[in-house]
Amino acid sequence: MSAQSALEQTMRATELPAEPIERLDRTSTGIADMTAVILCGGQGTRLREETEFKPKPMVEVGGRPILWHIMKLYRHFGVRNFVLCLGYRGDMIRDYFLNYRLRNSDFAVDLGTGALETLQAGEAEDWRVVLAETGADTQTAQRLRRALKFVRTSSFFATYGDGLADVDLGALLAHHRRQRRAATVTAVHPSSRFGELAIGGGLVKSFQEKPQVTEGWINGGFMVFEKRAFDGIGPDDNLPLEAGVLEMLAQRQELAVYQHGGFWQCMDTYREMCLLNEMWAKGSAPWQVWQECSSNRLTA
């Protein structure tokens, strides 16, 4: 069974409530104690124009790595603990976070002694970031398994380092806890790779460039896992997440689904990177739920 059919099977087996899912109360449920594990180790071969010299999560949208945008989304909902699963060109991600504050500060350096004096401190996030080396050729399920030792709670968020969305992460977590399964995936409608025409009377009535399709669901990342979801994976089992763990959980009826009908866009190609950058430049970036002012859109 393919990963796509596993998701479809899960969606058929999971009955969602008709009423809107209530927002999660962050204080009583401890969402602030949750960890978000982000897969940052892939090579991004379909975006070779950018990933020839940098890891895909470091490809920029609006002057910031797409990874930064993902982390800002999680922080908006109360998550400040992150584990980044590094692989391909992981040193670039390490350098980015080691020098994060300096990139936004005015400072003087004495070239003779190497002494550094901060003249004006720049912005700094209150994130706690674990930079975990998970291997250059490691598959995604094994990367997550190797990150478990850095996760302090029994459940945790996980996502890919190349997709943006306006998912309500509080509602996602509340849904996961109600379903009481080992994992929950966020199902999304992918955007069409072609323009959509509305035709009538031999004329084009409207044209929409790359709309979100209304039929079909895919795994859009933004997942919640219980640690027990990885109990069957050993240290030498180099398995992919979707075709490995998620298929297995679906067969055991341990995979719940949260349907997100809002914005979602991956960054697999150069065209999709340009699309995300255009949305940001126009001030119409749906994933920017933290509503950061334009003065903070400088390169970090």
Q: Where are the domains of the chain?
A: 31-102+124-186+216-282
Q: 256 forms bridges with which residues in the sheet?
A: 184
Sorted by sequence, the CB contacts under 8 Å of residue 279 that are 6+ apart come out as 285, 286
Token pair 């584990």: residue: 83
Secondary structure of 18-69 in HEC code, one letter for each residue: CCCCCCCCHHHHCHHHCEEEEEECCCCHHHHHHHCCCCHHHCEECCEEHHHH
Question: What pLDDT was estimated at residue 102?
Answer: 80
Are 226 and 151 within 8 A, CB to CB? no
- Rounded distance between C-alpha atoms, residue 78 and residue 75, angstroms: 5
pLDDT for 14 equals 43
One-character DSSP codes across 178-201 = HHT-SEEEEEEPPBPSS-EEEEET
Which phi and psi (to 5°) does residue 9 adopt?
Answer: -65, -45
Q: For residue 45, what pLDDT is reported?
A: 67
How confident is the chain (300 residues) per 10-residue block, as mean pLDDT? 51 41 46 94 70 86 96 96 94 92 82 83 86 93 95 95 95 95 90 55 53 72 95 90 90 91 92 94 94 45
* Per-residue pLDDT, 26: 42
Q: What is the pLDDT of residues 37-96, one digit of tens each?
A: 999 987 766 676 666 778 999 999 999 999 999 999 999 999 999 999 999 999 999 999
CATH class (in words) of the domain with range 31-102+124-186+216-282: alpha beta
pLDDT at 295 (0 to 100): 37
Query: Model-level pTM greater than 0.75?
Result: yes
- Please say whether the dihedral angle defined by the alpha carbons of residues 11, 17, 20 and 26, taken in this order, is positive or negative: negative
- How far apart are the two ends of the chain, measured CA to CA in Å? 43
